[in-house]
Amino acid sequence: MDTANRQSLSLSDEQINLLKKLMKRFISDVKEGVTISDAGWIVNEGRYDRKLMCGIIERKQGMLRISPRKDLLLALHKSDKETKWLAGLCLDMLKVSEVRKIIFELVKKFEENVRFKWIVVAIGLSQMLKELSTHVTTELVFNAGLSAIDWHKEISTASTQLALQLVSTWCDIKPEELNKLEESLNNNFSYKIPYTQGKSDNVEKIKRALKWDKVAQSLNKEEEVITALGILWFIDLCLTSKGIEYPESISVVNEDTWKLLISKTVRLQSEREIVKRIKEICNKLRRIVEGVCWEGVICLPWG
């Protein structure tokens, strides 16, 4: 089947191998932090027909590279599996570069404005706490005076209120501040982040059922872990919103987040360290409220 695909594209083995070489170089360069405009260039060692040069390969000053265009995968849709996989990863790396810009911007703003850091953390924590929609027992839900449908429907609003209460020990963030940042992000994302809504009676029922005052009091003793989790979940939101899918791409962003953001914001230096701390936190929370699988809630986004 691979031979038939190559014939339909009129690509020789040499040309297929060249495309793979160029895509691997582009992917490797972006992983190393090279900008999109500079990534993937190699010395042009031969002549290639117009089919390859027509949009798939770029040339300049004796150099060539794969063209990181958004329809690259479509252009190579009849190629073999490895070629299509590499093409898809190239496209993912374009999105990685966009998220990397967000990370650099966060580094700058964190240094300029501590309050901005807590807004980011609150948004990230609200994403994490949405896991409460499925990691609770029906008994806890019913004891709250809610149906399973109501609990699931209200948890998005509740998660924001829970997050705001959690960070209030360190910074009193208003819901409208979250909405302002979310609006800014929505201008750059195809996937829209839902805006923060006000409180409701059901949200208060959820907070009481979770004994959130006591839970927040316990979590307030874990500022470094909570800060790191908020940042990581915020970046995960950016990944999701940009449509990044490949594990290799997520790994690159994860490494950048730890190196550029987490290590400069808190003293935690590795996932292993934070996982150990999370386990200790979950053990404490189980003693406060039953009916919640805390390991499924207080967790890393890429675990």
What DSSP string runs through 185-228? HHTT-SSPPPPP----HHHHHHHHHTTHHHHHHHHTT-HHHHHH
The mean pLDDT of 110-131, rounded to a whole number, is: 92
Phi/psi of residue 212, nearest 5 degrees = -65, -30
Q: With 90 as the cut, is the pLDDT of residue 79 above it?
A: no
The mean pLDDT of 148-172, rounded to a whole number, is: 91
Mean of pLDDT over the chain: 86
Nearest to 35 by CA among 104, 120, 114: 104
Cα dist. 292→94, 138, 210 in Å?
39, 10, 8
Q: With 80 as the cut, is the pLDDT of residue 158 above it?
A: yes
The tokens describing 233, both together, are: 């979940």
Strand partners, 59: 64
Which residue type sits at 272?
A: R
Contact between 87 and 73 under an 8 Å Cβ cutoff? The reply is: yes
Contact between 65 and 58 under an 8 Å Cβ cutoff? The reply is: yes
pLDDT of residue 212: 97
Q: Is 160 helix (H, G, I), strand (E, B) or coil?
A: helix
Cβ neighbourhood burial of 39 (10 Å; 0-12, 13-18, 19+): buried
Contact between 193 and 237 under an 8 Å Cβ cutoff? The reply is: yes
Bridge pairing between strands 42-43 and 57-60: unpaired
- Quick: pLDDT tens for 172-205: 888 888 877 777 666 555 444 554 555 578 999 9
Beta strands in the chain (DSSP E): 42-43, 57-60, 63-66
Q: Choose between 252 and 198: higher pLDDT.
A: 252
Query: Which of 8-12, 66-70, 184-188, 297-301 has the largest mean confidence?
Result: 297-301
CB-side neighbour CA atoms (13 Å) of 275? 7
Q: How far apart are the first and last CA of the chain?
A: 37
Q: Is 64 helix (H, G, I), strand (E, B) or coil?
A: strand
The tokens describing 200, both together, are: 């409701």
For tokens 């089919």, name the residue.
51
Of the chain, the percentage scoring pLDDT greater than 90 comes to: 60
The mean pLDDT of 234-259, rounded to a whole number, is: 93
**pLDDT classification of 15: cutoffs 50, 70, 90:** confident
Cα dist. 121→125, 226, 229 in Å?
6, 8, 8
- Quick: pLDDT tens for 262-295: 988 888 878 889 999 999 999 999 999 999 999 9
Cα dist. 139→25, 145, 214, 291, 294 in Å?
54, 10, 20, 7, 16
Under DSSP, the state recorded for 267 is: S
Beta strands in 23-129 (DSSP E): 42-43, 57-60, 63-66
Global pTM value: 0.87
pLDDT of residue 198: 54
pLDDT of residue 186: 61
Q: How crowded is residue 15: how many other Cβ atoms within 10 Å of its Cβ?
A: 18
Nearest to 57 by CA among 94, 96, 87: 87
Cα–Cα dist 205/146, whole Å: 8
The mean pLDDT of 13-27, rounded to a whole number, is: 89
